[in-house]
Structure 1
Amino acid sequence: MKNRNFLAIILITCTTLMFSCEKFITLEPPKNSLVPATVFKNDDLATAAVLGIYQQMASSGYASGDLKSISTICGLTADEFIGYDPGSQPFFKNLVLSDNLTVLQIWSSIYKRIYDTNAILDGLGKGTGVTPAVSAGLRGEALFIRAFNYYYLCNLFGPIPLQLITDYQANSKVARTPVNEIYTQIILDLKAAEELLADQYITTERVRPNKSAVQALLSRVYLFLGDWQNAEHYAALVIGKTGTYQLPALEQVFLKNSTESIWQLMPPANANTPAGSFLILTTAPTFLSLSNDFVQSAFELNDKRKTAWIKNLVSNGITYYYPFKYRVQNSSAVSEYTMVLRLGEQYLIRSEARAQLNNLPGAIADLDQIRERAGLPLIKDISPIINKEDLIALIQKERRAELFTEWGDRWFDLKRTGKLTSVLQPFKPGWKAHYALLPIPAAEINANSNISQNTGY
C-alpha cells in the first residue's frame, strides 16, 4: 500500500504541475488511479514518476533554496549567515535540539525522496512495458538521485539508516549504518548510473542529470574521502567536455541552463528559484543576512565576486549584506533555476586533488581559471613557486569565496578539513565539537528503537 500511495501521489503531482513538466517531456495526463503495474506499463508514465521526484525536491525545502534548505541551514551553522528569527537562531547559535521541526523536515524529506527512488528502481526491475533504453536512463537517474540524497544525509547526521528497499516495515527498524558503508553504497550507485546515462542531456534544459552530473558528484565524493586520484580523474572528465561546459561571466553563472551548470533543479511552474525571493533584502532583515565578517574576510582586494555576488542594504544607519548570486526576487519571467552542480566546483576539486598529489603546476593552472574570472592576479604570475601547504590553504580560501551559500559547501569543507572548531569557536559562544552533526530527530528515535542519538544531544 505504501508503494502504491507513493506512485499515485508522484504522478498526480506531475499531472498537477503539467505545465512545468512539459519542459521536461510532453506527457498525456494519467486518466485513472495508478498502481505499480500501470505506472511502469509504458515510457511516458515511468518518466512521469521520475519527474515527480525532481518536482518534490525543488519544492520540499531542503533542495529548494528557501529558508529551510540545506544551503541556508548550513550557512547559518557555519560562518556565512546571521540569523534573526526564532527559526534561524538555533542554527546560527548552534543550539539545535532533537525536536527541531526544520531538522525533522530535512530528515523526512530526504528519506521520502530515497523511498521514491527505491520504488522506481523496484518497479523498473520487474520486467515492465518500459522500453529498454528509457528504462536504463530512468534507472540511472534514480540511482544518481539516491546517491545524492545519501551524500547529504550522512554529511549532516553522520551514521544513518541505509534503506535500499520499499518494505516500509523493514525500513522502520533499520539501525544506523556507518558512514564508510554509506559512502560505499553512494559510489556503487554512482558508478552504475555512470554506465547507464549518456553525456547528452535528455532535453534542451539541464534539469535532468546526465553522465557529467554523475561524474561531478563522484569527484566531490572522492574529494571528501581523500581519494585524490579518483577526485582528479572524475573532475577532469567533466572539465574536458569543453563543448558543453564553460565558465561564463559572473553575472551569468546562475541563469537557467548556463554554460557552467551541470545539473539544476527547475522551480515550480512560472517561478524562479526561491533563493532570490528569500535572500534579497529590501528592508532590514527579519530572517537572515550575510555575516559582516564573511563579507570582509572571504575576498581578496578587487575580487569581482564580492561586487557581482554580494549586495547591501542600509537601514537605520546599519549596513546589511545579502547574497546576489540569484538576482530575481519576484518575476513571472523565469530566468533562474536552482544550481546544484557546476563547473567552477570541478576546477576547485581538481586543483585540490592535484595539489595533494604534488602536481603543483596543474593545481595552480586550475585555480587560476577561477581567479581569472574573479579578476584576481594569477598564482602562476605572483607566486609560481608556492609550496604545497600554502597552495592548499589558498585553494580552501578560493572555495570559500567561490561556493559561498551553495549547498552547505563551507560547512562541509570545515568538517572534512578538521577546522570546524578552530574557525567557529571564536565566533560561536558555547561552541562544542559535537555540533558538527545535527541531532537525529526525536520523532525518528521514538519511532525506531534501533536508532541512537548523536553524541551530545
Structure 2
Amino acid sequence: MQTHKTLAFMAALLLLASCKKFVEIPGPENQVIAGQVFVTDSKATSAVTGIYGFMINAAPAYSNFLTTVYAGISSDEMSRFNPSLIFQEFINNKITPANAQVRNLWTGLYKQIYYANACIEGIEKSTSLTPATATQLTAECRFIRSLCYMYLVNMFGDAPLLLTTDYQVNALAPRTAEETIWQQVIADLTLAKNKLPEQYSTGEKLRPNKWAAAALLARAYLYNRQWSLAEQEAAAVINSGMFTPLQAPQTVFLKNSKEAIWQLAPRTGVLQETSNLRPAGTSPQIFLTPQQLAAFEPNDQRRQRWVDSITTQSVKYYYPAKYRNTTATVNEYYMVLRMAEQVLIRAEALAQQNKLTEAIADLNTIRTRAALPPLPATLTQQQILDAVEQERRVELFAEWGHRWFDLKRTGRINTVMNAIKPAWQPTAALFPLPQDDVLTNSNLTQNPGY
C-alpha cells in the first residue's frame, strides 16, 4: 500500500509531530534511524508519544475533524453550508472512490497503524530499554492500533489487517474480514488493559492508561453484541471513581476535565475541530440538521451549552459548539474517550440483558446532568433501548461519528436514511476504498455499489 514506506520515514515524521505537551523529555535530535530511536527509554517514549502529536496536529487526519465531519454529514446529524463537490458526495451518500477526503481518512488510519507497528517492532528488537518502559510503550502502541482498526471497519468494512512494517507484505495485502479484525482489536485492547498503569503517566490525561483501554474495549464488546463483557468493562471504568461524578456540560471538554478518560493536546489553543465547525466570518460552515435539533428535549442543558447559532441571510443556522476556545491559550483538549459514553454503553448492555432497573438508573445519570426529568421505572426493554439511542444522539453528537456508527450497528440505518434521503442505497453504509489503492493493489477489492 502506498501509505506504508520505510521506518526511517516514520521516525522523521514522528520527530516533526512530537510535542513537549505529551511528555516532559526532549525528542531525538535530527533524523535518526530506528536503531537509535529505541536505544534509550526517553527516545523510545518520545517516538511513541509522537504518534499522539501526529494524530491531533497533522492535517488532514482521521483523528481530528475528518471523522466527526464526514461521518456526521453522511448521517442525519449535520450538513454543510454551500458544500463543495467533495462535501456534497458525503451529504448525498454518493461518494466516488476518487474523493480526496475518503483517501485522507483511509491514509490517516493506515499511517498511524504503520507508526504503531514500527514502534512495536523497534521495542521488540531493542536490548537496552527497561522492561517496564518496553511493556508500557508496547501496550500504548497496541491501543493506538486497535483504535485505528475500529474506525477502519466502521467506515470501510473489511480492510487489510497489517501487523508488520514489511512493505512487500503490506503493498499487496488483501482485505481481512471484519470479524477477524475485531478479534485483533479485542486482543490488542485486552493486552493494553492488562499492561498499562491505572494512573496517568504524566500529570495530564494525554497518554492512555488502563481505564482508557478498558473504555475502548467496552465499546468493542458493545459493537460486537457481547453484552455481558461490555457491561463488565464499562462498569470497571465507572467504578474506578476517577471520572465520576459527571460534571456540568460546560466543563466537559476542558483540558483534563473530570469526565475525560483520554484526550489529545493541540499545538495551539484553537482545535481543528473548532476551526472546521464554527462559522467562517458571517456564514456557517457545518450546521446541525433539523432532525438533530428536534432530538433535544426542552430545557436540555446540552442543547444550551453545546449548540450555538448564526444568522445568515435571515436564516438561523445552529452548529456544534462543544469546543469554544478561539484564542492561542490552550484550555481545551480534544476529547477521544469520556465517561458519559461508558455510562451509555453500560445502560445499553444492561437493557440487552433485561436488567431494566439498572439500565434506567444509568440513563437517569445522563439525564440528570442535562437537567432533564428522570425516566419512569415502568419502561419496557424496547423503550429503554429507544431511550439509549436518544441519549446517545444528544449526548455524543458531533463526536467521532458516533451517530453514523450507531445507526449501522443497530440495524437502523436504512429506516432512518430512507426517511430523509429518498435516493439512499444500503451500500452507502460503507465508504468506498480509495481508487488509487484499489488500482495499485491487485488484491484489494472495492466495496459493493462503487
Structure 2 length-normalised TM:
0.96
Tell me the distance in 2 between the aligned counterparts of 1:244 and 1:390.
Answer: 28
Structure 1 portions without partners, runs of 5+: 15-20
* SS at 1:56 equivalent: helix
Identity %: 41
Q: After TM superposition, give the deviation of residue 109 of structure 1 in Å.
A: 1.1
Q: Which amino acid aligns with 1:396?
A: E
* SS at 2:250 equivalent: helix
Corresponding residue number in structure 2 for 1:260: 259
Q: Which amino acid aligns with 2:194?
A: E
Q: After TM superposition, give the deviation of residue 288 of structure 1 in Å.
A: 2.3
Matches within 5 A, 1:25-424: 25-60=23-58, 61-66=60-65, 69-83=66-80, 84-86=82-84, 87-268=86-267, 270-281=268-279, 283-285=281-283, 287-295=285-293, 297-328=294-325, 330-379=326-375, 383-424=376-417
Given candidates 10, 26, 44, the residue that maps to 2:14 is 10
Number of matched pairs: 443
* SS at 2:128 equivalent: coil
Q: Deviations over 1:256-286 (max 9, x none)?
A: 1100000111112x33322222212264546
Q: After TM superposition, give the deviation of residue 8 of structure 1 in Å.
A: 2.9
Tell me the distance in 2 between the aligned counterparts of 1:164 and 1:179.
Answer: 15
Contact 1:236 1:350 in 2 (8 A): yes
Given candidates 430, 441, 444, the residue that maps to 2:434 is 441
* SS at 1:332 equivalent: coil
Q: Which amino acid aligns with 2:438?
A: I
Tell me the distance in 1 between the aligned counterparts of 2:149 and 2:247.
Answer: 31
Structure 1 length-normalised TM:
0.94
* SS at 1:341 equivalent: strand
Contact 1:199 1:210 in 2 (8 A): yes
Q: After TM superposition, give the deviation of residue 243 of structure 1 in Å.
A: 3.7
Tell me the distance in 2 between the aligned counterparts of 1:274 and 1:120.
Answer: 27
> For the structure 1 residues 70 and 29, does the alpha-carbon distance in structure 2 shift closer, same or farther, using more than 3 Å as the test?
closer
Query: Does 275-284 or 406-415 show the bigger shift?
Result: 275-284
* SS at 2:257 equivalent: coil
The two structures, once aligned, show a CA RMSD in angstroms of 1.4
Q: After TM superposition, give the deviation of residue 123 of structure 1 in Å.
A: 0.7
Tell me the distance in 1 between the aligned counterparts of 2:434 and 2:242.
Answer: 45
Tell me the distance in 2 between the aligned counterparts of 1:97 and 1:207.
Answer: 36
Q: Deviations over 1:123-159 (max 9, x none)?
A: 1111331111111111110000000000000110000
Contact 1:272 1:337 in 2 (8 A): no
Q: Which amino acid aligns with 2:383?
A: D
Corresponding residue number in structure 2 for 1:18: none
Contact 1:272 1:335 in 2 (8 A): no
Tell me the distance in 1 between the aligned counterparts of 2:182 and 2:380.
Answer: 32
Q: Which amino acid aligns with 2:130?
A: T
Contact 1:58 1:267 in 2 (8 A): yes
Q: After TM superposition, give the deviation of residue 245 of structure 1 in Å.
A: 3.9
Contact 1:85 1:286 in 2 (8 A): no
Q: After TM superposition, give the deviation of residue 28 of structure 1 in Å.
A: 3.2
Tell me the distance in 2 between the aligned counterparts of 1:305 and 1:12.
Answer: 37
Q: After TM superposition, give the deviation of residue 421 of structure 1 in Å.
A: 1.1
